[in-house]
Amino acid sequence: MPLFIVVCGILLLFILIVFGKLNAFVSFILVSLVIGILNGMPINEVIESIENGFGNTLGSLVMILGLGAMFGKIIAESGAAQQISFRLINSFGVKNIQLAVMLSGFIIGLTMFYEVGFVILVPLIFTVASSSKLPLMHVGLPLLASLSVAHGYLPPHPGPTAVAILFDADIGKTLIYGTIVAIPAILISGPVLSKIIKKVNAKPLESFMSSKILSSNELPSFFISIFSALLPVFLIGASTITLVFINDENQFFEFIKFFGNPSIALLISFIFSMYSLGISRGESIGSIMKKSSDSIKGVTMVLLIIAGSGALKEILTDSGVSQYIGSLLIDSRLSPLFLGWTIATLIRVCVGSATVAALTSAGILVPIITNTDINAELMVLAIGSGSIMLSHVNDGGFWLFKEYFNVSVKDTLSTWTIMETSIGVIGIIGVLILDIFV
C-alpha cells in the first residue's frame, strides 16, 4: 500500500505540473500533503515534516545558490567567462570542446558539492556555447555528466563517502574503481548522448549570461579570469586534500575546514572577484551590486521549487516509505551488487535525493552482506550508480537544470533524465564487469 500511494503521488505531481500547468512549488506542497496523510501520518506531523523539508534543503542551499548566482554574474559580466571560453576554444579547438568541459567538470566535481559546481560552471558553459556557436546541450551535457558521476560515484562526496564508511570500504580503492567506471559513463552519457537525443532549444536565463560581448582589449587577463573563476575550487579542494592528512585534534583543523566550507569559499571568491574583476578595473561597488542583485532574481523560483522537492523527500522519509521499499527486496535472489543498485534506484525514484537513496540502501544491505565475500568498494559504486537513476520532478537537480537552461518539463525529461539514467546504467554495467576481475 505505501508503494502504491507513492506511485500515485508521483503521477499526480506529473499531472499537476505537466498537464495542469500548476506552479511546481505549489504542486510539491499539495502532493506532499496527500502522500503524508494517506500514509497515515498525523496531520500536524505532515505539516512539521514539510517545514523540516524546507529548512533542511534550503539551509544548505540558500547561501550556495545565492552567492553562486552573484559570483557567476560577475564572472560573466566582467568578461572573465568570455576570456576563459575563448582560451578553451583556441586551446582545444571547437571539435574538442566537449573534452575540455568534461575534464573541467570531473576535476571540479571531485572537490565540490554538485550544486556548487553547477552554479559556478553553468554560466561559463553558456558563454562557451554562445562563443563557439555550438548547441547548448552539446556543450552542457558532457559537463553535467562529469559533475553527476563525481557526485554519485566518488568520495569525498557525502553519499559515496558515508556508504563507504558503512561498508568499511577502502576510500582509496573506491576512488580508483570509481574513476575506472566513471570514464565510460561520462563519455557515453555526455558526448555520445548529446548527439543522439533530439534537438532541444534551450534558452538560458539572461540573468546568468553576460549582456554584451567585449572586445579583446576590454577583457581581463586570462590568469585573473581563471584564478577568480576557480578560486572556490582551489579553496574547497585544498581544504579537502589537507584534511585527509591531519586529524581533528590538529590546531589548524577547524581553521582549514572553515575556509573549505562551500558557502565560505563562495563568499571569499565573490568578494575577491568584486575587486579583481570589478573595482580594480574602474567599476563602482554600486554597479557591481546592482548586477549581483539582478542575478538573485533568477534563482528565487529555483530555490522555492527545490524547497518543495525537499518537503516531498522529507515526507517520504518520515513516513517510512524508503525502508518499506528496501524490505520488499531483501529476500530477492539477485546478485548483491545488482540488488544494491535496484534498491537505490527505487528509493531514488520515490524520494528524489541521491544521498538519501544511497544511505538508505546501504543501511538496508549492510546486515545482509556482512558475512559475504562481496567487494565492499564495488558495492559502494553499485549503490552510487542506482542513486543517480531516473531523476525526475521530485529531484532538486532536475529543477536546477530546467530553470537554469530554461526548458520545458518535457525537454528536461528527454535530456537531463535520460543523461542521469544513462550514468546509472553504465555504472552498474561497469561494476559488474569489474567484479569479474577484482
- Average pLDDT of the residues in 241-252: 82
- Average pLDDT of the residues in 102-106: 82
- Average pLDDT of the residues in 380-395: 91
Residue 160 has pLDDT above 90, yes or no: no
What pLDDT is attached to residue 187? 94
pLDDT tens, residue by residue, 14-71: 788 767 878 878 888 998 899 889 988 898 999 999 998 888 777 767 887 788 778 8
Share of the chain above pLDDT 90, in %: 19
Residues 82 and 90: their CA atoms lie apart, in Å, by 12
pLDDT tens, residue by residue, 108-146: 776 566 777 787 778 778 877 877 788 888 888 998 999
- Average pLDDT of the residues in 270-277: 92
What pLDDT is attached to residue 322? 59
Residue 420 has pLDDT above 90, yes or no: yes
What mean pLDDT value characterizes the chain?
Answer: 82
What pLDDT is attached to residue 127? 77
- Average pLDDT of the residues in 385-414: 88
What pLDDT is attached to residue 275? 93
Q: Residue 168: pLDDT band by 50, 70, 90 thresholds?
A: confident
Residue 332 has pLDDT above 80, yes or no: no
Q: Residue 328: pLDDT band by 50, 70, 90 thresholds?
A: low
Comparing 415 with 247, the larger pLDDT belongs to 415
Residues 404 and 119: their CA atoms lie apart, in Å, by 9
Q: pTM here?
A: 0.71
What pLDDT is attached to residue 78? 84
Residue 81 has pLDDT above 90, yes or no: no
Residue 211 has pLDDT above 60, yes or no: no
Angle at 171 between CA 170 and CA 172, to 5 degrees: 95
C-alpha cell of residue 149: 558521476
C-alpha cell of residue 429: 554495467
C-alpha cell of residue 234: 582551489
Highest mean pLDDT among 128-132, 253-257, 328-332, 412-416: 412-416
CA-closest candidate to residue 392, choices 309, 315, 336: 309
C-alpha cell of residue 375: 567487494
What pLDDT is attached to residue 434? 94
What pLDDT is attached to residue 298? 65
pLDDT tens, residue by residue, 354-382: 877 887 777 777 766 766 778 899 999 99
Comparing 419 with 260, the larger pLDDT belongs to 419
Residues 354 and 298: their CA atoms lie apart, in Å, by 25
Q: Residue 239: pLDDT band by 50, 70, 90 thresholds?
A: confident
C-alpha cell of residue 310: 525537499
What pLDDT is attached to residue 428? 96
- Is the peptide bond between 156 and the residue preceding it cis, with omega within 30 degrees of 0? yes
Angle at 267 between CA 265 and CA 268, to 5 degrees: 65
What pLDDT is attached to residue 385? 95
Residues 368 and 346: their CA atoms lie apart, in Å, by 18
- Average pLDDT of the residues in 183-197: 90
What pLDDT is attached to residue 185? 94
What is the C-alpha end-to-end distance of the chain, expressed in Å?
40
